[in-house]
Every structure is written in structure tokens, then in C-alpha cells.
Amino acid sequence: MSAQLIVALDFDSRQDALNLVEQLDPGQCAVKVGSEMFTLFGTELVSTLVDKGYKVFLDLKFHDIPNTVAQACRAAAQLGVWMINVHASGGSQMMQAAREALEGGRNRPLLIAVTVLTSMNDERFSTLGIPESINSHVQRLAGMASESGVDGVVCSAFEVPEIKKLCGKSFLTVTPGVRLDLNSRDDQSRVVTPLEASRLGSDFLVVGRPITRAVNPARVVEAIMQEIG
């Protein structure tokens, strides 16, 4: 199965976000609502997007004590979102609590664990004091996430082949830092093109600014879909 596209709605204007989704086809892509938009516009925006037929990835990266994360995941599921995420570094107990909070619910959202942010490079990662490489740390977190029963992880496309080998092909991988032009990195470090990410085995590609800042966003989405189809 070819990779699927998630468009990151990183706007400080509700109307700008809605103007964009009106130009896109919910049959072609899902949308991601992150911390900025959720803080500004809350659950109403999420409900509006769901009502428009979009699958919504609520990207709030929950990271807290297990009970708090479990309650947050349960609340997110009640919004009708398609995907939510937690930080894998919160540990097995936290991820298991999140998974258990979602069990038995109608239309359970996918639960994804964040490994290492794609804005991190080796130099920045070394300042965290973790005595292993980014790749080794990602593999360890992915293995722990898989054992905790989550559906997949957020990771760079470069880490996908080893994760699939470790956790199985059905373990989902969500890849941010996807750029049409590798010279345009913005604040990302471990970046790939859509075709590279798809060939490496990523299941979902998160693309933001290359689409949201385009003169014709629908045309860019169509070009990406043709590239990875």
C-alpha cells in the first residue's frame, strides 16, 4: 500500500485554515491540528474539520503521568479524531494507560508514539545527555512503544526500515519533515522527499508549509499523490 498524506494545518488564523481545507479533498489527505491551532481555536475547530469529512490527527504529544495522559486521550477520542499521539519517552506505563483508555470506544483513534523530533540532529541530540545515537534511541523507543500496544510511531523516514524490521510491517510509521525541495528545510533537520519517504516504507507523510504556503495547494497535493502512488 502506498503512503498516505497528512497536511499540517500550522496557522494562527482559523479562517486561513478553513480556506485551505476548502481547496483540498478529504478523500486525498488527512489534516493535522497541532498545539498552536488547538490552543487558539480549541475543540470547535477539530469538530468543524471532522464535520467537513476530514480525518483529523490531533498532534498534542501528550507527556504526563499515566492517569493524566489516559484522561486526555479519552477526551480526544470523544472529539471524533482519527489519530492522536503521546511521547514514547513517557514510558511503557504511560503508553499502556493511553491505550487502555481508548479500548472499547467506538471508532477508536490510532495511537501513535513520538520518538525523536525530526528537528533534532546529532549535535542537538548529544546535548540531551543520552548515551546513544539518534537511530539507536529511536529503535529502543519504538520497541517499547510496540510492546506497550500502541499502533505506531512518529519518526524520520531514515529510521523506518529498522523499525519495520524490529516491530513488524503492520506497525505504523508517521514521518514529518517531508519536503519537496531538500534545500528548503525550515526548522527540520532529518528531512526527505515524499518519494524517498515512501520508498523507505513510511505509512503516513506529514507535509505542512510546502502545501500550506503554495499558490495552488490542491495542485501540490496532487503532485505528491502522483509521486508516491
Q: How far apart are CA 27 and CA 214, in angstroms?
A: 20
127 among annotated binding-site residues: no
15 among annotated binding-site residues: no
pLDDT tens sequence for the chain (229 residues): 679 999 999 999 999 999 999 999 999 999 999 999 999 999 999 999 999 999 999 999 999 999 999 999 999 999 999 999 999 999 999 999 999 999 987 889 999 999 998 888 888 998 999 999 999 999 999 999 999 999 999 999 999 999 999 999 999 999 998 888 644 545 545 678 999 999 999 999 999 999 999 999 999 999 999 989 7
| Model confidence, pTM | 0.93
List CB contacts of 109: < 8 A, sequence separation 6 or more: 58, 76, 77, 81, 82, 83, 84, 102
Q: How far apart are CA 69 and CA 90, in angstroms?
A: 10
63 among annotated binding-site residues: yes
Q: How far apart are CA 180 and CA 195, in angstroms?
A: 9
> How many helices and strands, by DSSP H and E, does the chain display?
10, 8
Q: Which residues are catalytic, by number?
A: 59, 61, 64
135 among annotated binding-site residues: no
Q: How far apart are CA 130 and CA 144, in angstroms?
A: 16
| Segments making up each domain of the chain, as ranges | 4-228
Taking alpha carbons only, the member of 3, 8, 49, 16 closest to residue 32 is 8
Fold of 4-228: TIM Barrel (3.20.20)
